A = this chain, B = another copy of it.
Amino acid sequence: MSANSPTAYLVVRPNITNGILIGTPAAFGNIVVIDDALTVGPDEKSEVIGNAQGLWVSTGKNFPSLTVYLDFGFTQGEFNGSSISVFSRNPIAQTERQLAVVGGRGKFEMAKGVANLKTIFVNYTSGNALVEYHVTVIHY
């Protein structure tokens, strides 16, 4: 969130003075709108194959946790124009964790599944992070 052209914006920052991570993008109650690039690999120069759009909200009052409401859409290849809907808590303090895939569009019509995440890099203060996703879905 500290890049020259950030792709995540803190749009709601309530004046809550107790709780954890006060003053950071992950402070309890914050709402962030994102349009983040999805790349094939962790290198920034890696091919962009889509984007993740939606909201995340900092919902852990006593420990760091987000609830995410994201659509992962593809702009290249076999799944161009299709997307999956991801909605669940995201316990960001765990390096490896799982999110729920609750639906999809296009080739992911009626998809259900999980996204397994692994944090490669995170900086709570700046709000920058690099996270690897492995998504498994059943679709029709």
Closest Cβ–Cβ distance, residue A125 to chain B (whole Å): 20
Contacting residues of chain A (104-140) with chain B, CB-CB under 8 angstroms: 104-106, 108-110, 112-114, 138
Instruction: Tell yes or no: A93 within 8 A of B by CB.
Output: no
Contact of A69 among B10, B69, B108, B138 (CB under 8 A): B69
Give residues 65-107 of A contacting B (CB, 8 Å).
65, 67, 69-71, 73, 83, 85, 87-89, 98-106
8 Å CB contact of A31 from B18, B33, B61, B106: B33
How many residues from A make CB contacts under 8 Å with B? 51
Q: How many copies of the polypeptide does the oligomer hold? A: 3
Measured between beta carbons, the chain B residues less than 8 angstroms from A11 are 12, 14, 29, 31
Are A103 and B105 neighbours in the complex by a CB distance under 8 Å?
no
With contacts A14-B9, A35-B60, A88-B83 known, is A105 near B112, CB below 8 A? no
